[in-house]
Amino acid sequence: MDSYQILFVEDNEPDQMVIREYLTNVNPEEFELTIRDTFEGAKEVLEKNNTDLIILDLNLPDCDSLFGIRYLKRNFPEIPVVVLTGLDDKTVGLEAIREGAQDYLVKGSVNEQEFNKVLNYAIARNRFQKEINVQKELSHSVFDHSPCGITIVNLHGDFIKTNHKFQEMTGYTRHEISRMTISDITHPDDNVATRTVMKDLISGEIDKFSIEKRYIRKDGKVMWANTSGNALYDSSGKPEYLLAIIQDITESKTNHERLRKFMDETDAMIAIFDADLNLLDINEAGLLYTGGLTRNQVIGKQVAVFNPDISEERIEIYRKVIRQREPASFSNKITFPDKNERMISFHCFPLESGCAVICYDISEEWEAKELLKSQAENLEQFAYVAAHDFKAPLSNLNALLQIIKNQSGIKPGFEELFSKAQGSVAKMKDSIDTLNQVLTMKQNIHLEPELLRVSDAVEIVLESIENQILDTNAHITTDFSLGDSIWFPKVHLNNILQNLLTNAIKYRRPDVQPKIHIATNMTGRIVHVSVCDNGKGIDMQRYRKKLFGIFQRFDSEINGKGIGLHITRSILESYGGAISVESMPGYGSTFTVDFAPKPETAESNPGFVAAEAHSYQP
């Protein structure tokens, strides 16, 4: 710790020796004493060195009795001064205190104990004053550089002090604001509320406040602000000033008003809940779901209070969205207060603290979809019956043609015609058999999902097509590190992977070694499995809309029936999944399969297990 620097200004040597002895007896290491016998000499020390305390003789040869103390307080106000007076100069000592000295000592009557007492008091007061100065500087710094506006007004509302930020907010200069009152820049509609807050602060009914109010800027524009503050009290504990901190919320208020306008103009129901599912806001369309209640009757209430028919399952989905920070969408039939039943689509999104629910009435779309679904099922059933009924006649016709050929022979000149007839019947029979295969698969598509590892299924499929891999020298790599577990029927997963992998080998470029990479990824709880190859590729601009259709083939050089991708998409969509493709001729294709997560009705979803990346070697 640095020693305490004391400057002793005294021209009498015996007095110098007394003070030096007193300080030595206290603690010689704690104090460092500098002695000057003239005021001019003292000024030189003060200009060059840091000084913590001045002991000043008021009877110096080059300084009038009170001139010295006045000079010191004017030029070095932060340094405390203790004056020394003669026995006949007590009145001068008291006058020096009035001029700013901290204390005085009378020569000839001061003893060591009294000197130490005065010294310690002076040091303590000096340190306390430094702390006050630091606090003042800090307070001024916060006041002047705050990102919020700060004002101090008297009890009548006159501005006493404002910071730069508030002047910037309102557009007024410090001088202009100093001649105004709080009412002058408050929006007329908010003056009553402002006066009420001031009155309650002054009376002691409240000790702090926070309100949203409007200010009128110098340019006439309205500024919305969140204004909070408290009273500042005098030494007797009575309110003397009022402090306010002003935060400009014009932009957020404008955005909120736009959101409110959108909410009230849209046909969709929009409700916003806090983390405990208390209603924070709801639009006019949403009030239809409450049985005719008003906004004031439902705001702040639990969702189950104003909507007693809500299912516990729906409430749990809302809670899960808030808890896991992931959106959820679902549809439910809802019975409205008018007893009409409608199909409603719910979309729940997490907010910073709570969730937003947007609902659409999709009754018409749902009914149309159900009608189309029914018609599609009828057409599919018709196709199944027709394919089944055509199968036997075609087989008979093919058999008859063969009998004619074997027993009766073909008349000269009709051989080519007969051969074309046989070929047409064979093609028709093959198409009917393929259609039967597709329809049979669709009728038996719904199997129970189970927890599977994609890596295990890939390994099984690769073993089953090992000969194709060897024959084509295909190089296959895998990476399941970003998710390896899905909920899906095992048979269907194997069929999908086998179809994608055999296609990747089948549609290879003849002059390039086939390279296939199988990888997984995740978006939320959806697992993506991609199969990427360096094969021929597909002209997506030409074939994108037909790619997953039945009997669609795009390469006449490769044998196939054109049903593999159709079956793959049908299987995936029946379990809430999807398939997409990116491809370019000559550069290969990437098929990405999206597997839906375990249904929400399940209690929990086992963690996704990651598998290591590796290359397949048959």
**342 has which bridge partners?**
334
Give 581 or 434, the one with higher predicted confidence: 581
Q: E strands, 145-278, where?
A: 149-154, 159-162, 208-216, 222-233, 239-248, 269-273
Amino acid at 129: Q
Which of 135-139, 230-234, 258-262, 266-270 shows the highest mean pLDDT?
230-234
Cα dihedral: 539, 542, 545, 551 (round 10): -80
Which of 80-84, 190-194, 233-237 shows the highest mean pLDDT?
190-194
d(CA 538, CA 13) in angstroms, rounded, equals 109
**Using one digit for the tens of pLDDT, what is the confidence trace for 300-347?**
888 777 677 788 888 899 999 999 999 998 888 877 766 778 888 889
For residue 220 the two structure tokens come to 């006439």
Give 434 or 184, the one with higher predicted confidence: 184
Task: For residue 486, name the pLDDT band (cuts at 50, 70, 90).
Answer: very high
Architecture in CATH for domain 4-142: 3-Layer(aba) Sandwich (3.40)
Q: Give pLDDT, residue 608.
A: 39
Residue 556 has pLDDT above 70, yes or no: no
Task: For residue 191, name the pLDDT band (cuts at 50, 70, 90).
Answer: very high
Check: CB of residue 534 under 8 Å from CB of residue 512: yes
CA distances from 233 to 138, 160, 239 (A): 20, 15, 4
d(CA 370, CA 362) in angstroms, rounded, equals 12
Q: Give pLDDT, residue 84.
A: 85
Residue 616 has pLDDT above 60, yes or no: no
Instruction: Report the CATH number of the 146-252 domain.
Output: 3.30.450.20
Q: At what angle do helices 13-26 and 112-145 cross, to 10 degrees?
A: 70
Q: How far is CA 107 from the centre of its chain?
A: 73
Residue 202 has pLDDT above 90, yes or no: yes
**Using one digit for the tens of pLDDT, what is the confidence trace for 525-545?**
899 999 999 998 888 888 888
Q: Give pLDDT, residue 609.
A: 41
- 266-361, superfamily in CATH? PAS domain (3.30.450.20)
d(CA 132, CA 145) in angstroms, rounded, equals 20
The stretch 40-57 carries a mean pLDDT of: 88
d(CA 554, CA 570) in angstroms, rounded, equals 20
d(CA 6, CA 17) in angstroms, rounded, equals 14
The stretch 228-255 carries a mean pLDDT of: 89
Please name the residue that has the structure tokens 């083939």: 553
Domain 450-616 has CATH 3.30.565.10: yes
d(CA 37, CA 63) in angstroms, rounded, equals 11
DSSP 304-334: HHH-TT--HHHHHHHHHHHHHT--EEEEEEE
The stretch 388-394 carries a mean pLDDT of: 53
Alpha helix (H) residue ranges in 325-414: 363-403
**Using one digit for the tens of pLDDT, what is the confidence trace for 567-609?**
788 888 888 889 999 999 989 999 999 998 876 543 333 333 4
